Structure 1
Amino acid sequence: MAVHLMTHSVYSLLSSTLTISKLVTSAKAKGFQAIALTDYHNMHGSVAFTLMCQKHHVKPILGVTLSLTLDEELVDFVMLAQNLKGYQNLTYLTSQLNQAPFILESNHLKDHLNDVIIIVLSEGGIFEKAMLDMDGAAIKHYISRLNQVFDAYYVGISMQESMYWQSKNEFLKAILKQEQIQSVALAKVFYDEPNDAKTLLTLQAIKTQKQVNDPALVQYDHHHLLSVDELVEHYDLEDLETTDRINASISTYDLANLTTLPVYQNNQNVNNKVYLRHLCKVGFSKRYPQKQHEPRYQQRLQMELDLITKMNYEDYFLIVYDIIRFAHVENIPVGPGRGSAAGSMVAYCLGITHVDPMHYGLLFERFLNPERISMPDIDIDFSDQRRDEIITYLTNKYSQEHVAHIVTFGTLKTKMSLRDVGRAYDVPLRIIDRLTKQIPARHNITLRQAFEQSKGFRKMISESEALQEVFEMAMKIEHFPRHVSTHAAGIVLSQAPLSSVVPLMQVEADTLSTQYSMEYLEDLGLIKIDLLGLRNLTIIDEIVQSLK
């Protein structure tokens, strides 16, 4: 058996054709029981990858490809997490790397080399020139320098499918053996099958704003997902056995519930379950002065509080209550509440919402239900011009290490994929514009659906070989992530430092963002709070102020 220890997914933006699903299902089909994900400088796909591996009974190995600056040269290496502590080393380093300006140097690694496996690249890495020149002295010099950085490491052997590189690898391995450095099979995987190389070339052209026939583009041949049999055919048995030993040294660990919400600090010297009940009692008397003694009102409040405290969500409600309180103190316009949270009497009594759920017959169970797995979700509307003040307040109160925005991905949507591929294939923009105008105006329509539903779209493609090529390639890359952005409203707060839970990145200047998109944060124990900036609230406030 063997294990692929270096694979890049579509989250190495525009540098791989492998979706998480395709990577895992193809690995399973090709006979692998374990596989690593090692995207370049990021961990965007880690949780999705873990869940997909669990679904298909494949062991996930979480890692990352990093570049270290050493003596003004770049050392590319793979870092694999052996356990949860190793995972946290990865999240810390990738968080630092994605906060500009930051250059990874050896002093940044010294506290983060435990519980990880290091594999230094040979071909495509620091050894490549010396291998091409058959310069044994240079190879020994690099080994000496690497020995000063890493207590233990492997050197990856790649490109064994190439007769040319086989001889270079043999030369390197002989020196590694003399220096007592272990080699390991490291086939670099950027796409699934050999015929996907052109798709990767197209992505490279889009990324660099070049055309696919530009000689400056790197041709990534021999970077498909080799099967177990193909690895055995091309790579030395001892190097493949080393992949198995590395795999055996990596434990299976759980990323669930790595943190909770911060504990709300009340000023009454009581626990927050008691404090929440106290605030609700005060709010109840204000909201329902004529209904305080009606059993169904009292029972409704008691039922909600019992469930909220049983599920340990008291801090969530108190934090949201505190956000609303701050906004009122600072005269920041706040909306009356939206969504299922309007069905909560607790939210109404705390002043989070201003819609009486009893009067309108709204159900609390739509908002919070013990039989539902999902966490509560309260959306809060603020003036769009003053939303940043809310985020600054939270950052100052809980510190930047505990508050973050949430990343989102701009994807290659239907028209965008056609335009990008058309540009890469040197098709005139006016023709691509005519083609995209034939796409029906339907939300989230796919290229395949457009072809089936639009006669004009089909006609233009069928009459032009160039457009047929563009269309077929655009379908292959449709929905791939193209760039990172920030979720319009969502933030997360964490009791533990966020960089020990989730990798972070600098998307906006004021606050860091998680590298995981929102659908994967709940699994880690993070609860999303939506702080929406509405232009309507700003306009209403401006009108009110002008009338005073």
Structure 2
Amino acid sequence: MFLNCHSYHSLRYGTLSIKQLVEQAKTLGIKELVLTDINTVTGIYDFKKECEDHGIKPVPGVEIRKDGRLLYVAIARKFSGIGEINKVITDYNCDGKELEEVAPEFKEVFIIYPMSNIPSELKDNEFIGVRTDELNFLIRPEYEKYISKMVVLHPITFSTDEEYELHKILRAIDHNTLLSKLTKREVCRKSEYFISGQQIAKSFERYPQIIENTNLLLDDCHFEFDFKEVKNKKFYTKSKENDLKLLRRLAYSGLEKRYGLNHEIAGKRVEKELQVIDELNFCAHYLITWDIIRYSNRMGFMHVGRGSGANSIVSYCLGITDICPLELDLYFERFLNLNRQVPPDFDIDWSWQNRDAILEYIFDRYGKDHVAFCGTNVEFKYKSIFREVGKVFGLPKEELDDLTSKSTQRDDSNSVVKVVEKYGKLLEKFPNQRSMHACGILISEEPITHYTALEMPPKGFPIAQFDMNVAEDIKMEKLDILSQRGLGTIKDTVELIKKTRGIDIDIRDTRISKDEQKASEYLATGNTIGCFYIESPAMRGLLRRLKCDNYRILVAASSIIRPGVAQSGMMREYIFRHNHPDQFEYFHPIFEEHLKETYGIMVYQEDVLKIAQYFGGLSLADGDILRRAMSGKGRSIQKLQEVKANFFEKCIEKGHSEMLTAEAYRQIESFAGYSFCKAHSASYAVESYQSLYLKVYYPLEFMVSVINNQGGFYRTEVYIHEAKMSGGIIQNPCVNESEYQTSLQGKDIYLGLMLLQGLETRIAHGIVEEREQNGAYQSLNDFIRRIPVGLETIQTLIFIGAFRFTGKQKNELLIEARLLLINFKPENRGLLLIEEPIQEYRLPRLERNFFEDAFDEIEILGFPVSCSPFDLLQTRYRGSVFVKDLLQFHKKQVKMMAYLIARKHVPTKKGTMYFGTWIDVNGNYFDTAHFPDSLEKYPFQGGGCYLLLGIVEVDFHFPTITIHKMAKMPFIPDPRYAYDQEKQYDIHRQIKEDVSMTFRKPYPQEHEIGLPRSKTL
């Protein structure tokens, strides 16, 4: 009887989860249920599973609405009907095709029109839905003739009075209006909750044919769907046989290139993998990935194949990955084994600059009807919940800010606030909107609308209406097409080296990407600022503690830096064992046998599988379930509990004590959730070495590229500092020398116009393009003639020194700009007053304080360029100890003057603590720890220089200062605001006389001539 049920996937409308919906139906003894969320099929696959678990027949459908108005309910007679409905929704979402009042021709779909939208004619598959509160209309002659085509329509949207109020709140949020201003048309009826079938039958007892029509419709509907059949594209060629032939040929061709002729071990590994790949029908997945990489290489793009795919030697031979599985003893079964029923997960990174080109190729190559991004549900988050709910109750901004910034556990007498908090909590975990998965691409054999409707986000690539978990459930595995800025930095550096030095660098050469001597020296000392993945304070500290001077140690470091590993205490233990390999005992002989390379510690996800298999006696399949469940890739808590129980049972059978077993499981638990697979860490390590090599031998080109890629752990100022420490001469932006991005001329690094806060991107590009087309700017006057800018933009450029080529002081240029633009209108650009013959005027000598430039730079760039932050301090004290000497002060108190580079907060049981990164006056980096008790008395007060007092702790070659006291040091007074009133008046009077004589008109007032912020002339 329930042909029109909404879940919370009817965004900002329904209040029931799929699970709640089905459980309530089960409680009432309902045997058949139709899910018809509004314009979406997001929940139908979870719905099918949930219904079958509860002994209910599931039927999928969609409620079609346009501008909030119900047009009709579409119910799939069989699964192909869902594809028909999906096509209609997709055409509307992606192609702008209007939703018509009357449903299109459907082959396997039943249509139910509401009483408010009855068409002139009804097709065989079309019916009219009647609600219980509409039965009185049936006595009218105009409706009586339709009774033979009527069915029961009892929509389900909520279950309690409280949820009805929640529904209204959701509708108000959706309409961005006050709750009190909602109209009846914008909310559901108060009757849209479950009642028993007997109640419905009693309501319709005078119209048994309507009951019969409803039952016949439900009986004719079937939701047949095979969750086990893979839905991805089946063949790259035209058949499985041809796919295998092509894959084999490519694999052996790559084998010869990678290993040379007659490499017996590699050859056997390739053959073994090909057999498994073929048996699991994964040839097409490999070939599609190879095809994408082939296109990427043809276009000259850099990529990194990472993740467990790098465990495969076939991936290595095809060029998908650049990690040799034999060298690192990577095990193929972590990636693919005969127990695995889903396609392997290739994770491939491109530069953020090239990713869209790769995506366009995939959509064009495999057909827009077969390719889509995986979707994701964006849930209501804590802060947004209270802000959204508070708005519909009419709370002012101040109270909304208070709500989102304070804990809800408080004594508040404001009744409205209590209501907001009450319903806000109910909204937690509710989907708020659908969005695009960051990187997951689906490529299907059948048209993708066979399984899902598509939506078109602003990004321009269609997205499926279900998320990655549902995609995996229905056996439609995603291909991860990722982007990062590290690859962009490497690519740009190589190109810049070619441009500035004429040197071609093959950055993929393994002699560069692994164990290069000088790069390894930098690595061991943590000199890695700007390098992919290894530049953060925590990672630099780890590298120094390990004295990491080779590729293998870097691979391990890339995994143990992960949060769960560090929190479990195993990272600390690994550091100890690495530094003292003869001062520890293995947890168990099995750990020594299988984890000797990592001192008996689980460092990689493969280690979890090894211990689960050899220590716990689990099968490889159960070990993988354990790993996936702990890493969040398995959604079944029950399955995880089963595997855990099996692990403990098998351990006891093998003779392990309960205490030993519990500790082994604890270590598995801490690692499996956060650690990398070894191949993933190895892939990252290669890219880290590549960027480090460029930093070591071509530091200026490298740092310029880091700045231009806007990436990394630190702000731009830090990378500029690194460039300066490497011998670069930093030049402020100049309209005649600077590009849009930062550029390199010899040792001169011209900061890019893109770094100027407040300068429009369009103007910045225009300055460069006009200069390239028509030559350098000869003067401020010439610039204003050629570039359509207003006074505010001109002032920004003047203050940063972009017109220093004129030889005039900034103050003189400011007045000149005012005079040029005094009567300026955009439409009269060619008729500037300055073009008229005018009498020469003379400005008085305008003195300027040296530090004014630094304060201009701070205001416009965010940091000083012309001097060091230490030069701006009121004190000349620079500390009693410097970074170069810290190792000598273990357990001793030091006092240092330092400039804050970065800070990170970490919650603890006693409150929030911070880790700080600083530079001393010599430009060298060091780190600090700030505990809650210290921060309470001596908190951070924003960026700048601080006087620090603390105790040095040297931990395995790495010094950290535990701060006891700190104070932010004041800068000198901003000289731009300090001036002599009488002197200023005299200058103003002189300018007034000169300008008045020149233009023969009244002298403009000070605010007109634009002495900004009363700056010193």
* Interval of TM-score (by shorter of Structure 1 and Structure 2): 0.7 to 0.9
| Counterpart residue number, 1:534 | 484
Residue identity in the other structure for 2:213: T
| Counterpart residue number, 1:115 | 108
Matches within 5 A, 1:229-378: 229-236=198-205, 238=208, 239-256=210-227, 257=229, 259-261=231-233, 263-265=235-237, 271-289=242-260, 292-294=262-264, 296-335=265-304, 337-378=305-346
Query: How has the CA–CA distance of structure 1 residues 463 and 68 changed in structure 2, closer, same or farther, with 3 Å as cutoff?
Result: closer
| Counterpart residue number, 2:705 | none
Query: How has the CA–CA distance of structure 1 residues 216 and 107 changed in structure 2, closer, same or farther, with 3 Å as cutoff?
Result: closer
Q: Is 2:230–2:342's contact at 8 Å kept on the other side of the alignment?
A: no
Residue identity in the other structure for 1:93: V
| Counterpart residue number, 1:15 | 13
Query: How has the CA–CA distance of structure 1 residues 416 and 106 changed in structure 2, closer, same or farther, with 3 Å as cutoff?
Result: closer
CA distance in 2, matches of 1:367, 1:225: 47
Deviation of the 1:117 alpha carbon: 1.5
Deviation of the 1:466 alpha carbon: 2.5
| Counterpart residue number, 1:458 | 409
CA distance in 2, matches of 1:234, 1:178: 20
3-state DSSP of counterpart to 1:232: helix
CA distance in 1, matches of 2:482, 2:230: 27
Q: Is 1:41–1:97's contact at 8 Å kept on the other side of the alignment?
A: no
Residue identity in the other structure for 2:440: G
Deviation of the 1:476 alpha carbon: 1.2
3-state DSSP of counterpart to 2:271: helix
CA distance in 2, matches of 1:166, 1:260: 48
Deviation of the 1:326 alpha carbon: 0.8
CA distance in 1, matches of 2:172, 2:100: 30
What does the per-residue CA deviation read over 1:402-439, in whole Å, with 9 as the maximum and x for residues that have no partner? 21112222210121111111111222332332333335
Deviation of the 1:324 alpha carbon: 0.8
What does the per-residue CA deviation read over 1:136-177, in whole Å, with 9 as the maximum and x for residues that have no partner? xxxxxx55x133xx334221111x2x5xx4423x335x6444
Q: Is 1:33–1:59's contact at 8 Å kept on the other side of the alignment?
A: yes
Alignment pair present for 1:514 and 2:464: yes
What does the per-residue CA deviation read over 1:458-511, in whole Å, with 9 as the maximum and x for residues that have no partner? 125x54433221111011111211122111111111222222233222224633
CA distance in 1, matches of 2:245, 2:64: 48
Instruction: Select which of 44, 67, 71 maps to 1:46.
Output: 44
What does the per-residue CA deviation read over 1:241-292, in whole Å, with 9 as the maximum and x for residues that have no partner? 33222111112411533743152249x99711021111111111222238x4
CA distance in 2, matches of 1:259, 1:436: 43
CA distance in 2, matches of 1:106, 1:419: 37
Matches within 5 A, 1:12-411: 12-67=10-65, 76-105=71-100, 109-110=104-105, 112=106, 114-122=107-115, 125-126=116-117, 145-147=120-122, 150-158=123-131, 160=132, 162=133, 165-168=134-137, 170-171=138-139, 175-179=142-146, 181-216=148-183, 218-220=186-188, 221-236=190-205, 238=208, 239-256=210-227, 257=229, 259-261=231-233, 263-265=235-237, 271-289=242-260, 292-294=262-264, 296-335=265-304, 337-411=305-379
Segments of structure 1 that go 5 or more residues without pairing to the other structure are: 127-141, 440-456
Deviation of the 1:207 alpha carbon: 0.7
Residue identity in the other structure for 1:247: L
CA distance in 2, matches of 1:524, 1:19: 20
CA distance in 2, matches of 1:215, 1:303: 66
CA distance in 2, matches of 1:67, 1:474: 27
3-state DSSP of counterpart to 1:146: coil
Q: Is 1:176–1:182's contact at 8 Å kept on the other side of the alignment?
A: no
TM-score by length of 2: 0.46
Query: How has the CA–CA distance of structure 1 residues 180 and 223 changed in structure 2, closer, same or farther, with 3 Å as cutoff?
Result: closer
Please say which of residues 368-377 and 416-425 is displaced more in the overlay: 368-377
CA distance in 1, matches of 2:172, 2:33: 28
Query: How has the CA–CA distance of structure 1 residues 182 and 493 changed in structure 2, closer, same or farther, with 3 Å as cutoff?
Result: same
Q: Is 2:3–2:33's contact at 8 Å kept on the other side of the alignment?
A: yes
CA distance in 2, matches of 1:33, 1:179: 27
CA distance in 1, matches of 2:444, 2:457: 19
What does the per-residue CA deviation read over 1:293-340, in whole Å, with 9 as the maximum and x for residues that have no partner? 33x4333222211100110100100110111111111011212x2221
CA distance in 1, matches of 2:361, 2:183: 49
Deviation of the 1:78 alpha carbon: 1.1
Residue identity in the other structure for 2:121: L
CA distance in 2, matches of 1:251, 1:518: 25
Query: How has the CA–CA distance of structure 1 residues 227 and 381 changed in structure 2, closer, same or farther, with 3 Å as cutoff?
Result: same
CA distance in 1, matches of 2:321, 2:370: 26
CA distance in 2, matches of 1:493, 1:47: 19
Moved over 4 A (4+): none
Query: How has the CA–CA distance of structure 1 residues 215 and 512 changed in structure 2, closer, same or farther, with 3 Å as cutoff?
Result: closer
Deviation of the 1:5 alpha carbon: 0.2
CA distance in 2, matches of 1:540, 1:519: 34
Residue identity in the other structure for 2:222: S
Q: Which entry has the higher C-alpha Rg, 1 or 2?
A: 2
- State the aligned residue count: 493
Residue identity in the other structure for 1:293: H
Query: How has the CA–CA distance of structure 1 residues 179 and 339 changed in structure 2, closer, same or farther, with 3 Å as cutoff?
Result: closer
Segments of structure 2 that go 5 or more residues without pairing to the other structure are: 499-1017
CA distance in 1, matches of 2:266, 2:144: 78
Query: How has the CA–CA distance of structure 1 residues 496 and 166 changed in structure 2, closer, same or farther, with 3 Å as cutoff?
Result: closer
CA distance in 1, matches of 2:475, 2:487: 32
Q: Is 2:40–2:62's contact at 8 Å kept on the other side of the alignment?
A: yes
Deviation of the 1:240 alpha carbon: 3.0
Deviation of the 1:547 alpha carbon: 1.1
CA distance in 2, matches of 1:15, 1:344: 47
Deviation of the 1:107 alpha carbon: 8.7
Residue identity in the other structure for 1:104: L
| Counterpart residue number, 2:418 | 468
CA distance in 1, matches of 2:28, 2:77: 24
CA distance in 2, matches of 1:118, 1:269: 40
Q: Is 1:405–1:487's contact at 8 Å kept on the other side of the alignment?
A: yes
CA distance in 2, matches of 1:202, 1:476: 11
3-state DSSP of counterpart to 1:39: strand
Cα RMSD for the two superposed structures: 2.6
Deviation of the 1:89 alpha carbon: 1.5
Query: How has the CA–CA distance of structure 1 residues 14 and 255 changed in structure 2, closer, same or farther, with 3 Å as cutoff?
Result: farther
Matches within 5 A, 1:496-511: 496-508=446-458, 510-511=460-461
CA distance in 2, matches of 1:276, 1:30: 55
Please say which of residues 352-361 and 462-471 is displaced more in the overlay: 462-471
Residue identity in the other structure for 2:343: M
Deviation of the 1:61 alpha carbon: 0.7
| Counterpart residue number, 2:394 | 426
CA distance in 2, matches of 1:216, 1:382: 50
| Counterpart residue number, 1:446 | none
Deviation of the 1:374 alpha carbon: 3.5
CA distance in 1, matches of 2:497, 2:276: 44
Query: How has the CA–CA distance of structure 1 residues 506 and 255 changed in structure 2, closer, same or farther, with 3 Å as cutoff?
Result: farther
